[in-house]
Structure 1
Amino acid sequence: MDKSRSMENFRLSCSEQEFRETKALSYSKIASYDKDGPISLITKKDLDGKSYIIFGKLVDDMLLSPQNLYKYKINNYNGELPSGSISEIINKCVDFINKTGEQLTDEIILEFFAQKDFYKTWKPATKVAAVWKYKDYLDFILQNKDSILITPFMWTTAEKIVETIKTSPKTQQWFNLLEGQEGFNQVDLITDYNGSKVKGAFDRLVVDHVNKTFQIIDLKTGSVKSDEFVDQFWKFRYWIQATLYYKMLEEIIKDDDQYQDYEILDFVFVYMPSTGATIPTVLTVEKDRISAFENGFYIGRSEYKQKGLKQLIKEIEWHYESQIFDVSYDFINKEGCYIINDKQVRGEDE
């Protein structure tokens, strides 16, 4: 293998902390804006400790970064476990203690209930008691603060999912590489796109030096059935991720003489439900759709044109610059005036 043709020649080297802290726009930020509007640009979703996030990360690490598996520990706590909502409050308490070193008080507990907007009809004393009831569990979590706690079921299910992906005829080609191919996992990249700084973390990038191709593979896990993932593609705006990552890779290699004759293949999503499945779901985004996703597109026979990646980023940059987050870019552009005409409403014969 010619080592000079390694990804290290053209990837932007950055630490994990730098990648997290950069102000560059990410797929998740753009998708949240498209789904929830400008208010999403100044609010942060608290996903820490969510079991589905932990499980997805476990599968990623088991398949792509096994060196990280030391972080996980089987949860062997034998006492009574709190409900999901109380567990989230306890996780907030643990974070508070770990970050501040201060003692947990009733006032802090009530503050976390208010932040989460949980059990609004409960009396303060009831809320506090609901947390202190699980003091042993809270202490157990604190003792294991440096580990990611998982259940035995999560571990064995992740193992089965990884084995399925590695051995399935539809997906093994991206993980059992041939001579002349290189595979890169968890590739963190920051680059420019259409005048804006953007970032992305490629789960898997396969470089084929024989056929001179690149291919990006993104792994997804979730609660929906295998045949429902196509709906998730639209619901979670995965088209934004595919387009952004494709254009980022295109931007990175365009000025590198070593890769001028390399082709970027179709973007691929590989999905497995968190309960496991006999075969993975493979959703391919054909590369000739990238332009439509960039510049605006129609879904099926709909006459409504969806905003493309370029327009969404333009609007986000405008909101940040203007510091207007309570109304939309479209509202300001229309000066608050709307018209209901034949484009919105048509009669039977029109």
Structure 2
Amino acid sequence: MSTITDVARVAGVSVATVSRALRGLDRVSPQTRRRVLEVAEQLHYVASPTATSLASGRTRVVAVVAPFLTRWFFATLVSAIEKELRAHGHHVILFDLEDDTYDQRLPLTQNMLWKRVDGVISLNVPMTDDEVALIDRLGLPLVAIGSAVPGRPCVRIDDRATMRTAVEHLIDLGHRRIGYIGDVPRNVAHVETPQTRLTAFRETMEAAGLPVVEDWVLGSDWTAEAAAADSARLLCTDHRPTAIVAASDEMAIGVRESARRLDLEVPRDLSVIGIDDYVLSEVLGLTTVRQDVAEQGREASRLLLRALSDPADTSGPSDLVMPTVLVVRDSTGPAPA
């Protein structure tokens, strides 16, 4: 069986460099890392995970904590995070905090994390004080995506500016009767983003001098199926908006389907805009405000890898705000006369 010395000799580097390359540390050039990995594979060299963990005090595993794993947004983040960490010799363990009910989630516990992971990436999870204290007690670096965790780096979009872009697009098209879908009860597990987007909708309408009709502010659990059902009652009445802003593309797709079932033509009778640029949005011609979800996952992974490589390095951004951009497609048009 090949040894680490064999790998170093064939690769033409020191044993220490081989060790750093296989452990994914930053003090190795990309070219050298690739060479070491190629030689290790050719020689069928496999480092003992137990020995590596004992020697370094590291598990080379990162916890990814999400309120849902079945939704497109979270699945896209997890995929990007896993690929980025894998490229640096780390692996992912997923903790799905989804409970049986939409308005609750499971807590993060010591048994999930202790001696199992080197760090944590949270996906739009508003952490409780007890959970933050637990992570502090375990000495784990944490990077948040979406919902910020006090004192930790966060990768996010500006939800207020993103919603403002969506509403102002409709206003620029001449719409004055604008509805909204995406309100949630205040006790749901991932309440921060829904609240922020709804607040921004109200603020943008007020700034434009337009009334918010409360009957046109619709609740939904942020799925296409729910949004189709939740919007049907409003769309079948004569007193309906000429446009609807959905807090996510999945809900926008649901609203569009509901309109189709009621023989309303989009965008002639009803304009619909969402947020995200969901995987089917381009195919369906949905106007949206695009965010690069995968890049958020990659950036969060890089921040965590930096913290793992050098805990004393505080030069990285504490609040990384990613850009969003309006993508105009077929689902929005001028307000009907």
**TM-score normalised by structure 2 residue count:** 0.29
Greater relative contact order structure (CA < 8 Å, 6+ sep): 1
TM-score calculated relative to the size of structure 1:
0.28
